[in-house]
């Protein structure tokens, strides 16, 4: 499955929870929105190989 964030796109294996995938990518779940097909998905949701996910950082260092 594809993961997108503003800077890059990666392929990872599906069939796992959002939490497990964020763990593998060393991403703190409190710092990102996880979006699939225009909807937010929570950490226990199981993602499939065919899914395309946006991992959107929420932390800002300046004005927001």
Q: At its nearest, how many Å lie between another protein and the CB of residue 27? A: 11
Q: At its nearest, how many Å lie between another protein and the CB of residue 14? A: 19
Please compute Rg for the chain using Cα positions. Answer: 11
Query: Among residues 50 and 60, whose Cβ is nearest to another protein?
Result: 60
d(CA 48, CA 17): 9
Query: Among residues 13 and 48, whose Cβ is nearest to another protein?
Result: 48
**Tokens representing residue 59 in the block:** 């932390």
Contact 55, 28 (CB under 8 A): no
What is the contact surface with another protein in residues (CB under 8 A)? 6, 28, 30-31, 33, 35, 40-43, 56, 58-64
């Amino acid at each position: 499955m594809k993961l997108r964030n503003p800077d890059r796109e990666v392929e990872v294996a599906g069939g796992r929870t959002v939490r497990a995938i964020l763990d593998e990518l060393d991403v703190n779940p409190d710092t990102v929105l996880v979006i699939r097909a225009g909807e937010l998905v929570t950490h226990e949701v199981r993602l499939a190989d065919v899914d395309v996910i946006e991992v959107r950082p929420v932390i800002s260092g300046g004005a927001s």
